[in-house]
Structure 1
Amino acid sequence: MNRAQITLATSGALITAIGAWGILDSDSLVQLAAQVVEQYFDSRGWFVMLSVSGMLLLCLWLAFSKYGNIRLGADDDRPEFSTPSWIAMLFAAGMGVGLLFWAVAEPLTHFAFVSNYTPPPHAAQEALLATNFHWGIHAWAIYGTTALTIAYFTFRRGTPMLVSAPIETLFPQERWAQLVGWLSDFMAIVAIAIGVGGSIAMGVFQVADGIDVMRGGSRAEPWLLAAVFTVMVAAYVPPLLVDLGTGMARLSNTAMIIAIFLVFYTVVLGPTEFLLNSILNGFGTYIFAAIPRGFQTLTFFGSEVETQFHDWTLTYMVWWIAWGPFVGVFIARISKGRTIGEFVLGVLIGPTVFSVIWFGAFGGIGLFDALRGNGALLEMTQTNVERVTFALLERLPLTTVTTLATILAAFLFIVTSVVSAAFVLGTFSTGGDPDPSPRVRLIWGLLLGLLGAAMILSGSIDAIKKLIAIGALPFVFVCVLLCVCLIRGLREEMSDADR
């Protein structure tokens, strides 16, 4: 067997084993994941935050340094996509169904916790800040450094589009580089598969609850979850058997257009003045707190605060790391021809601005209800977090239309994510083949479905978050190594140019 066959066989076997374990005995899998993740966060939480903050500072330095003028490709290459289209594709790939799921629920969850320590107005501001921090420039710095490294070595050095390529290119004669390179590809595959499997589960919960709301039910029953999951798998299998063309891009753009429509709809028909103030205040507090907050571990505030920090901030950071290689390859593919400066600023600023607006609008309505209403949405986050977004839409006009739009957007985000992820996993597991065979893509699509089913059977969003985190933990070190490779590669190029 050659290296590509070994990678496909070993990674496929591990993912199959994890999926089967989750289906046959989900409780023991979740319990093990929770123990491993908690122990890692206790001992290495500081390393996760330091690594992520370091990636952000590296991105900012590259954007404004002499390296910012280096083009991702030949010197005469130019971008294939316009800047607005490029940013829209970045956002759709990087966030997806999580935005719909947590739009209202996350700010309210943070508000409920912080209210135990500070008055409600300050708790509301802190809740929105925490949410923006989780979905802002630190997340996109993780994506950005991974994507930038892959794009630079692929388009500038002519290497395969693999996580291992920068390592093996810079150390071609070192045997350790071959082993570390293979392990990097292997860990990237595992991180992607588990991360996307978790998103499948969240998408199924979201779509099923939306359908149940329209049926007048109080909670999505197991048969409905099974039906939604079956339809979702049936929807993403056929595209795996054909070329990844413009059709998938159109589906992603459609989901993004629906999301933009929902934001404007919420701001215009909700408590507009309050929401506009919420958005502006969200920008103000986030701009001044983002970088300092990246170096905080909240270790002096007691066990409850530390647990909250582990369950949300650290979990989010490793969640983005799990998606890093998948989103990184996608961003790299659509970024050829851009300079490093254009790339970094676009990746960091564009999607972050939309996230702040998104949570300022949806989270703002939730906080408005908690501060000035009856607090029903806040109470729902404690009992049925999957339904909070739909409960908010029921308070506004055209409920049926917006509920259907949310269900459709969630469905499209998941289908396009799974199809794209299967292509990327096929590329990684076949030694860098940019167009893996339909058979390989189908195998990965079915394995992603298996993982999704295992996570659905775990029965809770908290369990899904733990399972995603355990898949990403080893890849934290790979991300740091990729940053080192990028710096070394850029310095070598500049040294050659000077000579």
Structure 2
Amino acid sequence: MGLATSLGLGVAQVNAGLNHLYGISIDTTTQVILIAVITGFATISVVMGLDGGVKRLSEINMVLAGVFLLFVLIAGPTVYILSGFTQNIGYYMANFLEMSLWTETFRDTNWQGTWTVFYWAWWISWSPFVGMFIARISKGRTIKEFIVGVIIIPTTISFLWMSVFGGAAIFQQLNGINDLTAIISVDESLALFALVENLQLSTVLSIVGIILVIVFFVTSSDSGSLVVDHLTSGGKLDSPVPQRIFWAVMEGVVAATLLVGGGLSALQTASILTGLPVFCFL
């Protein structure tokens, strides 16, 4: 359910990008077709195995994401972004405890329920697969390498990624370059494409953004399929190919079914419902 939710949200963003670039309509039919395409790539990758498919795709995607990040940093308000990066870390450290215990008691909104609680449940529904997958790819590593590779580097990259794209967006909004607030209020999936529209090589950046989203979800699906496959085959690392294909296809089927049955709200509800028992069990 965690992977299916991610796949559903991902195709919504890809669909928005295709609409932005080529005028392709934003509808359920298009998104189901995109799910089928992404599932097809994920199936090919999972058949090729960890080293042949998953690892190679992940490495290509990380290099592409790094180039994308550097381009936005250089083409955007560089000094503003770097200053914001430093200030953001300080703000995070200063407010971590307060925001962690914030329960929205004195505000009559449902923001926390539709955002924070959903993301908690979404991440928890990912935890069984992520934990096992990290354990497998970390075999043979030292504790130091594990901590640096799993905790320190990803956290630092997350800070930098949020600061670069968030800083560039805030700069455009505050300086009247782009009314991103109005665009996001209509469809948040358009945020990235509206942001890069005011940078050099905007069309190329939008295409790269679509490719990144697709490949990120392909690697998420194929790695998740491998873990589910290991679980259902008694821990075998070299499980039968038809079984790998079955689980990869099932993730796409679940995502498409939820999308057709209730849209993004159904996807969110599914991740919350599956995340809760996992949380209780843990």
* Structure 1, 366-375 or 465-474: larger mean CA deviation: 366-375
Q: 1:460 to 1:372 in 2, by over 3 A?
A: farther
Superposition deviation, residue 472 in structure 1: 1.0
Q: How does 1:61-210 map to 2 (within 5 A)?
A: 194-210=1-17
Q: 1:267 to 1:300 in 2, by over 3 A?
A: same
Superposition deviation, residue 474 in structure 1: 0.6
Q: Which protein has greater RCO, CA pairs closer than 8 Å, 6+ apart? A: 2
Is it true that 1:227 corresponds to 2:30 in the alignment?
Answer: no
What is the SS of the residue equivalent to 1:473?
Answer: helix
Residue 3 of structure 2 contacts residue 224 of structure 2 at CA under 8 Å; is this kept in 1?
Answer: yes
Q: 1:453 aligns with which of 248, 256, 271?
A: 256
Match for 1:356: what amino acid? F
In structure 1, runs of 5+ residues without a counterpart are 1-193, 480-499
Question: How much is the aligned-residue C-alpha RMSD, in angstroms?
Answer: 2.1
Residue 366 of structure 1 contacts residue 378 of structure 1 at CA under 8 Å; is this kept in 2?
Answer: no
* Alignment match, 1:423: 226
In structure 2, runs of 5+ residues without a counterpart are none
Q: Deviations over 1:449-475 (max 9, x none)?
A: 111102332565444223212111111
TM-score with structure 1 setting the length: 0.53
**Cα distance in 2 for residues equivalent to 1:308 and 1:223:** 30
**Cα distance in 1 for residues equivalent to 2:102 and 2:277:** 20
* Alignment match, 1:75: none
Q: 1:260 aligns with which of 45, 66, 69?
A: 66
Residue 297 of structure 1 contacts residue 309 of structure 1 at CA under 8 Å; is this kept in 2?
Answer: no
Larger Rg: 1
Q: 1:299 to 1:396 in 2, by over 3 A?
A: closer
Superposition deviation, residue 242 in structure 1: 4.0
* Alignment match, 1:214: 21
Residue 318 of structure 1 contacts residue 472 of structure 1 at CA under 8 Å; is this kept in 2?
Answer: yes
* Alignment match, 1:298: 103
**Cα distance in 1 for residues equivalent to 2:192 and 2:262:** 19
Superposition deviation, residue 347 in structure 1: 2.3
Match for 2:5: what amino acid? G
Q: 1:441 aligns with which of 241, 244, 264?
A: 244
What is the SS of the residue equivalent to 1:244?
Answer: helix
Identity of aligned residues (%): 31
Q: Deviations over 1:242-267 (max 9, x none)?
A: 43333321111111112111211111
How many aligned positions are there? Answer: 282
Q: 1:221 to 1:311 in 2, by over 3 A?
A: closer
* Alignment match, 1:277: 83
Superposition deviation, residue 369 in structure 1: 2.6
* Alignment match, 1:172: none
Q: 1:274 to 1:376 in 2, by over 3 A?
A: same
Superposition deviation, residue 394 in structure 1: 1.1
Residue 28 of structure 2 contacts residue 260 of structure 2 at CA under 8 Å; is this kept in 1?
Answer: no
Superposition deviation, residue 345 in structure 1: 4.7
Residue 242 of structure 1 contacts residue 438 of structure 1 at CA under 8 Å; is this kept in 2?
Answer: no
Match for 1:200: what amino acid? L
What is the SS of the residue equivalent to 1:395?
Answer: coil
Q: Deviations over 1:121-165 (max 9, x none)?
A: xxxxxxxxxxxxxxxxxxxxxxxxxxxxxxxxxxxxxxxxxxxxx
* Alignment match, 2:151: 348
